[in-house]
Amino acid sequence: MAEKKYLISGATGFLGKFIINELDPSLFDTIGRGSTNTIKFDLAQTELPLTFHNKYDYLIIASGHAHVFKNNARESHLHHTINFKGTQKLVESAYHNGLKGIVFISSVAVYGEHMILPFKEDDELRGESAYAKSKIAAENFLIDWSRETNVPVLILRTPLIAGKCPPGNLGVMIEAIRNKRYFSVAEGRAKRSMVLAEDLAKFIVENCGHNGVFNICDGLHPSYRELEHLISKQLNLPLPKEIPLFIAEVLAKVGDILPFMPINSVRLKKLKQDLLIDDSKVRKELGWQPKEVAKYLIIE
């Protein structure tokens, strides 16, 4: 059997699909619990043994437990098990003499909500959510492991990832606008760092083997109003109307109880606040030159 160059976890996820589109199928294996994966393994079951019969040049870890707003013991356990322990399991199982590098997809959630903007890579990591803590633990493990083994580890702290049929808050926003259940809050002034999935995937493949921690975004940080314009235009719908903040707060409280509502307290907080990261380091050191999300995002 021919040796594969890449092993990719999370290949059936949103970003993972873009990553494998950048590669010839003969060059990679995938690992995950889905039936389409080359290697079937559930990262929630990290107590099970994991042995790879092939050796790989690069391990790309794009898997993770995310886009969950419930805050309970079960979800905290899954974040820790999949995002941290699962990363450990993958790395330790895939390691061999000759491994050339690992890429780990982290998140800007590691910075927390202290709102010293824009976040830079050397800022203190204050993320308090179970998701953020699991990513911080995985990052710390990988940094220490890289020092011990001399295998390069590229850690990418990603913001909102945009592309066709996105998950998470952007997907909820698109569907709410499509169904005319979306209202603009605070004039849509809040800005968020974003990155196109296709740009991120291409960068990952091209930079396997590099080392370091990097923020990565389009550097232009579109406002919610810009996104509302873009989405409405592509759906051939009028621009969403605005509602007063106090009404949005009432609806958010209802959404905390009724999950089918397009808004809840977590989403409202994101609609009101900027979340910006500084990507100057990756531009300077690795030549990152992304496209502008607000111009190039295609939602369908």
The domain that contains 54 carries what CATH number?
3.40.50.720
pTM confidence score: 0.91
Asked, for residue 152, whether it belongs to a domain, the answer is yes
Asked, for residue 154, whether it belongs to a domain, the answer is yes
19-23, 54-58, 82-86, 270-274 — which is least confidently predicted? 270-274
How high is the pLDDT of residue 1?
Answer: 44
**pLDDT digit string, tens, across residues 147-206:** 999 999 999 999 999 999 898 888 988 998 999 988 888 888 899 999 999 999 999 999
Asked, for residue 244, whether it belongs to a domain, the answer is no
Reported as a pLDDT band with limits 50, 70 and 90, residue 70 is low
Averaged pLDDT, 229-248: 91
Asked, for residue 98, whether it belongs to a domain, the answer is yes
Q: What is the mean pLDDT of the chain?
A: 91
Asked, for residue 250, whether it belongs to a domain, the answer is no
Q: What is the spatial distance between Cα 243 and Cα 248, in angstroms, rounded to a whole number? A: 7
* Total domains, the chain: 1
Ranked by mean pLDDT, which of 62-76, 104-118, 247-261 comes out on top?
Answer: 104-118
Q: How far is CA 85 from CA 48, 62, 79, 131, 214, in A?
A: 12, 14, 9, 13, 22
Token pair 């098990």: residue = 81
Asked, for residue 112, whether it belongs to a domain, the answer is yes
How high is the pLDDT of residue 63?
Answer: 93
Tokens describing residue 233: 């235009």
Asked, for residue 259, whether it belongs to a domain, the answer is no
Query: CB–CB of 66/32 below 8 Å?
Result: no
Instruction: Provide, rounded to the nearest whole percent, the portion of the chain with pLDDT above 70.
Output: 96
Rounded to the nearest 5°, which phi and psi values hold at 104? -120, 125
Q: Which of 246, 235, 240, 233 is nearest to 272 (CA)?
A: 246
Crossing angle of helices 168-178 and 224-234, in 10° steps, is 50
**pLDDT digit string, tens, across residues 27-45:** 999 999 999 999 999 999 9
Q: Which of 188, 257, 270, 262 is nearest to 227 (CA)?
A: 188
Asked, for residue 151, whether it belongs to a domain, the answer is yes
Domain boundaries, position 26: 6-161+193-219+276-290
How high is the pLDDT of residue 38?
Answer: 95
